[in-house]
Amino acid sequence: MKVLFIGDIVGNTGRKAVKQLLPELKQKYNPHIIIANAENAAGGRGVTGAIVKEFLDLGVHGFTMGNHTWDNKDIFEWIDEEPRMVRPANFPEGTPGKGHTVIKANGKELVIINLQGRTFLPAIDCPFQKADDILRGLGKKPRAILVDFHAEATSEKIAMGWHLDGRASLVVGTHTHVQTNDDTILPNGTAYLTDVGMVGSREGVLGMEREAVLRKFRTQLPVRFVVDEGKWQFHALVVEIDEATGKATKLDKIRIREGEWMMS
Ligand SMILES: [Fe+2]
Ligand SMILES: [Fe+2]
8 carries a ligand binding annotation: yes
pLDDT at 261: 59
163 carries a ligand binding annotation: no
**pLDDT level of residue 32 (50, 70, 90 thresholds):** very high
Has residue 260 got a pLDDT over 90?
Answer: no
Has residue 251 got a pLDDT over 50?
Answer: yes
118 neighbors 92 (Cβ within 8 angstroms)? no
CA distances from 137 to 108, 142, 166, 185 (A): 20, 13, 16, 25
61 carries a ligand binding annotation: no
pLDDT at 264: 46
Give the whole-number percent of the chain exceeding pLDDT 90: 98
203 neighbors 228 (Cβ within 8 angstroms)? yes
- Per-residue pLDDT of 52-107, as tens digits, reads 999 999 999 999 999 999 999 999 999 999 999 999 999 999 999 999 999 999 99
**For this structure, is 68 an active site residue?**
yes
pLDDT at 145: 98
**Ligand 1 centroid to 107 CA: how many Å?**
30
Starting at the earlier edge strand, list the strands of the sheet with 145-150: 100-105, 108-116, 145-150, 170-174, 191-193, 184-185
| Size of the chain in residues | 264
262 residue type, one letter: M
- Per-residue pLDDT of 168-204, as tens digits, reads 999 999 999 999 999 999 999 999 999 999 999 999 9
pLDDT at 259: 84
**Ligand 2 centroid to 174 CA: how many Å?**
7
If you average pLDDT over every residue of the chain, what do you get?
97
**Ligand 1 centroid to 85 CA: how many Å?**
16
Give the whole-number percent of the chain exceeding pLDDT 70: 98
pLDDT at 194: 98
Catalytic residue among 32, 61, 68, 163: 68
**Ligand 1 centroid to 129 CA: how many Å?**
23
User: Domain 2-262 classified CATH 3.60.21.10?
Assistant: yes
- Per-residue pLDDT of 135-145, as tens digits, reads 999 999 999 99
- Domains of the chain, by residue range, sit at 2-262
Q: Which whole number is the average pLDDT over 222-230?
A: 95
**Ligand 2 centroid to 263 CA: how many Å?**
25
Whole-angstrom distance, CA of residue 231 vs CA of residue 254 = 17
236 residue type, one letter: A
Per-residue burial over 68-88, b if 16 or more Cβ lie within 10 Å, else e, is: bbbbbebbeeebeebebbbbb
67 carries a ligand binding annotation: yes
Ligand nearest to the CA of 150: 2
Q: Which whole number is the average pLDDT over 21-42?
A: 98
